């Protein structure tokens, strides 16, 4: 009888853990895959507003030209260049190079060295 009570208590305690174990935060199969129009910013427009306290959400399209650090790159949209920092959660199924066109979603921060902190990268 004691074993049955312990087994039932263990099942009740571990049931929520097992239910959540299959949820993978990196699994994008359940995410929305919108393919309609997106308002894309140009770097020349962004760089005109590079005040120290400037912060705004942006979407830019172009190419990652070269890697500076493990998570920092130089990005170009053909009209300008800016430093971008990729979030640690970004994972790609395929390698990319300077010819791969990408769309970056992130936050533009002005200042001495303007940059975009990228939350999501989409290969176009």
Is 26 within 8 Å of 91 (Cβ atoms)? Answer: yes
Residue 87 belongs to domain spanning: 43-123
Is 75 within 8 Å of 104 (Cβ atoms)? Answer: yes
2-11, 33-42, 46-55, 106-115, range with the lowest pLDDT: 2-11
pLDDT of 45 strictly over 70: yes
User: Is 81 within the bounds of a domain?
Assistant: yes
More confident residue, 40 or 4: 40
3-7, 76-80, 104-108, range with the lowest pLDDT: 3-7
User: Is 8 within the bounds of a domain?
Assistant: no
Is 58 within 8 Å of 106 (Cβ atoms)? Answer: yes
User: Is 110 within the bounds of a domain?
Assistant: yes
Quickly state the pLDDT bin for 17 (edges 50, 70, 90): low
User: Is 18 within the bounds of a domain?
Assistant: no
User: Is 69 within the bounds of a domain?
Assistant: yes
Report the half-sphere exposure of 43 (CA within 13 A, side-chain side).
19
**Tokens of residue 118, six digits:** 């990228």
User: Is 35 within the bounds of a domain?
Assistant: no
Determine the length of the chain. Answer: 124
CATH of the domain at 48: 2.40.50.200
Domain count, the chain: 1
User: Is 117 within the bounds of a domain?
Assistant: yes
Mean predicted lDDT score pLDDT of the chain: 83
User: Is 90 within the bounds of a domain?
Assistant: yes
Quickly state the pLDDT bin for 93 (edges 50, 70, 90): confident
């Amino acid at each position: 009888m004691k074993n049955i009570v312990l087994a039932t208590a263990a099942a009740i305690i571990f049931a929520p853990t097992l239910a959540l174990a299959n949820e993978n935060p990196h699994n994008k199969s359940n995410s929305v895959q919108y393919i309609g129009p997106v308002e894309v910013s140009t770097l020349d427009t962004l760089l005109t507003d590079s005040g120290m306290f400037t912060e705004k959400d942006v979407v830019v399209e172009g190419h990652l030209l070269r890697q500076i650090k493990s998570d920092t790159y130089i990005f170009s949209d053909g009209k300008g260049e800016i430093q971008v920092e990729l979030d640690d959660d970004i994972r790609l199924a395929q390698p990319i190079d300077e010819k791969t066109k990408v769309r970056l979603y992130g936050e533009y921060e002005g200042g001495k060295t303007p940059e975009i902190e990228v939350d999501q990268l989409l290969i176009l």
